[in-house]
Chain A
C-alpha cells in the first residue's frame, strides 16, 4: 500500500568487463575459424579412436564416394594449383587458357576425367558446384588418372601430404586400387580421414 517506490538498482551489474571478454573471445574465434567447404558428395567417414587432427598444411585429398567414384581435391595454394594443372595438361596433351586456369584455382574438387575437365572448367561456377560427375576420376589398371593427379602434384611440391576420405560403405576393392596405385608411385605415407569415435559426424 505504501507507495514507496523501492529503488531496485541492486541487481544491475556492470557488464563492461564481461562484454570485453566476450568480444575478445569472439574475435579470437572468428579469426581462427575455417569453414568447412561443402562437399561435392556426402561422404561419411568411418569412426576411429584416433585423436590426431587433420593438419591443413599443403594437403590434397582424395574422396571416395559410396559408389566408388573418386574425387581429387588439389592443394589450396592457387599458383601451385595452376602448376599442377599445367603438368596434367602437358601429360594429357591438353592446353588450358587463362580463364580455365582461374576456374581451376577456385574449384573445390575435381571429379571428371581429363577429357572432360576442359568443359567442366568452362561451366558457370554455380553449375560446377551442383555438378555431380557420373564417373569420377577414372582409376583402373589402364587409366590411372587419379594417380597422375597425385604424382603431378608431388612434382610441383614434394612436401604435399595426402589424405584419403572414404565413405563407410565404400567397397574395399576401390580403396585397394587406390592404395596399389599409390604404391606404384612410391607414395607410401598418407592419412585416412576418420571421425571421432562415438560421434556420428555429420
Chain B
C-alpha cells in the first residue's frame, strides 16, 4: 500500500534490511492538492457565466406612412404598469377619460403585489390570449425595476407585453400620486 518510506530511525547503521524498498509513493498530498484545485476551478467556471434575458424591441416605423393604424385594444384585455420612483409601481386599466386618482392603483413589486394584479387582470380579460401588458417606465424608474417587470412577465408567462413611454395624462396622475414634491425632472 502507498505509504511513507518507513523511516527506520535507530537502525541506520544496523542490520541492512534485505527487504525490497517499496517504490510506492504516498499520494495523499498530491490528491489533496488535486482536489483543492478542482474545487477552485469548478467554482470559477460556474460563477463566471452570467445569465441573460432575451429582449426584442419593436422596429421603428421608417416614416409616418408606414405607421400602423392605432389599434383598438379592449381596456379589459390590457393592463398598464407604471414604474415609478423608489421601487413603486402603479397599474390601471383605464383610458384617458377614466384615469384618475382613484383608478390608478399602487401595488408592490413582489409576488403578493404585482404578480397577483397581473394574474387577476388576465383572468378578468375577455380574450385571454390577447391579454397585453403595457409597461411604462417613468424617468424616475431604475433599471432594476424594469428588469424585474420583464422577469415578472416571464414568470407569469405573458408573451404579449410591450414597453412604451408614459403618456402625459398618465404622467400627470402619477405625479399627483407620488406627491407634489416630484418636480418635472427629479434627479436624486
Tell me the A residues contacting B by CB distance below 8 Å: 9, 12-16, 18-19, 22-23, 25-26, 29-30, 32-36, 45-55, 64, 163, 165-176, 179, 182-184, 186, 188-196, 201
> Which residue of B34, B138, B154 has the most chain A CB atoms within 10 A of its CB atom?
B34
Whether B57 pairs with A182 at a CB distance below 8 angstroms is: yes
Chain B residues with CB under 8 Å of chain A are: 1-3, 27-28, 30-31, 34-35, 37-38, 41-42, 44-45, 47-60, 83, 137-148, 150-151, 154-155, 163, 165
Are A29 and B150 touching (Cβ within 8 A)? no
5 contacts between A and B (CB under 8 A): A15-B2, A16-B27, A19-B34, A46-B143, A190-B55
Known: A23-B34, A35-B44. A195 touches B143 (CB 8 A): no
- Separation of A153 and B148 alpha carbons in the complex (Å): 30
Cβ-neighbour of B142 out of A12, A26, A169, A192 (below 8 A): A169
- Nearest residue (CB) in A for B3 is A12
Q: How far is the CA of A167 from the CA of B50 in the complex (A)?
A: 13
Q: Is the CB of A175 within 8 A of B143?
A: yes
- Are A52 and B28 in contact, CB atoms less than 8 angstroms apart? no
* Distance between B104 CB and nearest chain A CB, rounded to angstroms: 19
Please measure, in the bound complex, the distance between the C-alpha atom of A34 and the C-alpha atom of B137, giving whole angstroms: 36
List the 4 closest pairs (A to B, CB-CB), nearest first: A29-B41, A22-B34, A191-B52, A170-B143
Q: Are A192 and B1 in contact (CB under 8 A)?
A: no
Q: Which residues of A contact B57 (CB under 8 A)?
A: 179, 182-183, 188-189
Q: Pick the residue among B48, B52, B145, B151 that contacts A49 (CB under 8 A).
A: B151
* Cα distance A64–B144 in the bound complex, in angstroms: 12
Instruction: Determine if B42 and A15 form an interchain contact, defined as CB atoms under 8 angstroms apart.
Output: no
Bound-state CA distance A36–B50 (Å) is 10
Q: How distant is B20 from chain A, measured CB to nearest CB, in Å? A: 16
Pair B60/A184 contact, Cβ less than 8 Å = yes
B142 engages A186 (CB within 8 Å)? no
Q: Which of B41, B138, B139, B148 has the most CB of A within 10 A?
A: B41
Nearest-CB residue, chain A, relative to B37: A26
Known: A165-B50, A188-B57, A191-B53. 20 other contacts (CB 8 A): A19-B31, A19-B34, A32-B45, A46-B144, A46-B147, A48-B150, A50-B53, A52-B53, A54-B50, A54-B51, A54-B52, A172-B140, A172-B143, A172-B145, A179-B57, A183-B59, A183-B60, A193-B51, A193-B52, A194-B151
